[in-house]
Amino acid sequence: MKVYFFGVEGWEKLHIERKLREKNVSGEFFFFKEALDINNVDKAKDADIISVFIYSKLTPEVIDRIPHLKLIITRSSGYDHIDVEYALKKGIKVAHIPGYGNNTVAEYTFALILSLARKMKPMIENTSRGIFTREGLMGIDIMGKTIGIVGTGRIGSHVARIAYGFGMKILAYDRSKNRELIEKYNVEYVGLEELLSRSDIVTVHLPYNRATHFLINRFNIKLMKLDAMLINTSRGEVVELDAIVEALKEGRLAGGVGLDTIETEITVEEELMKKTGLRALKLKKAAEAKYLLSQANVIVSPHVAYYTKDASERILDMTVDNIQKFITEGEVITPVPET
């Protein structure tokens, strides 16, 4: 079988090749640094298996241009960049990599929380310019504060464990209650509106789908405390970007905002510098992102919450395992859930 990997860095290619050799996986393997989309899909027109990352866009048009495609595997837990329904209808299996970075993303969530609580962004900016002053740098303790966890799946559960260690009060919102979290960490499950209104810190850990689109929005964000903190390390479209900007301009979310992903994941400077073909909506989103970057109490990172050597290697290893099982048995280890 012909297997094409897109969005692969140099070290990832070496790691994958080593794992393929160790497991004696047969086939032809091709690697590309760029993401896969309609503009370069012809490079993989004879592929049997495609492996991608979140920046690839597997629309029906892209899928149709790969006539022999049998398996799509994304090297991520999320798969909203793939038209899964269309692929499955065509008899193409779709796999993802769940659980690779549960503790990894949870740890990064607290890196953002602590950085905002102790004013790390303005402190670092000051000292890098030789300004050694405490003015404007008074922080807060997180011990005793109430954290609201939106989504208590694999990652959210780790967040609860860490929060308990910090001596925080823990609220949670989810469709189903995790009894272990209730018993071990005194987690209290409440409705979303109550969580927003009672929490000092709100952190979001949900997949992106129709039900979670703008779950945090310009209406319910007004329920949050004026000095609350908002963290999103899940998917950008779960939290409405307009709502965050509006809240900050009104003096709300004074505790700070930590975003590892934002709506549409815009490359700000690139969008602002384009002179032709720029849609008004994307320009508006780019301007909003630019505003966020300029705020002392806002930290925006380039989707790196998962990005550690340990987690990345787990992704690659599980990807190879899925490919091997598919080639030998026609099945995958971690198929995406069918809706």
Q: Which residues are catalytic?
A: 235, 265, 303
At position 6, the amino acid (one-letter code) is: F
Strands 146-150 and 201-204 come out as parallel
Q: For residues 57 and 49, what is the distance between their CA atoms, to the nearest angstrom?
A: 15
Cα atoms in the 13 Å half-sphere on the side-chain side of 109: 30
Q: For residues 33 and 302, what is the distance between their CA atoms, to the nearest angstrom?
A: 18
Q: For residues 87 and 208, what is the distance between their CA atoms, to the nearest angstrom?
A: 18
Q: For residues 20 and 250, what is the distance between their CA atoms, to the nearest angstrom?
A: 54
Pair 336, 36: CB distance under 8 Å: no
**Tokens 């140099």, residue located:** 10
Q: For residues 152 and 174, what is the distance between their CA atoms, to the nearest angstrom?
A: 6
Residue 262 burial by Cβ neighbours in a 10 Å radius (0-12, 13-18, 19+): buried
Nearest CA to 255 out of 264, 269, 244 is that of: 244
Q: Which regions of the chain does DSSP assign to beta strands (E)?
A: 2-6, 28-32, 49-52, 71-74, 93-95, 146-150, 169-173, 188-189, 201-204, 229-232, 256-259, 298-300
What does the DSSP assignment read for 253-310?
Answer: -TTEEEESS-GGG--HHHHHH--SS--HHHHHHHHHHHHHHT-TTEEE-SS-TT--HH
Instruction: Give Cα 10 to chain centroid, integer Å.
Output: 22
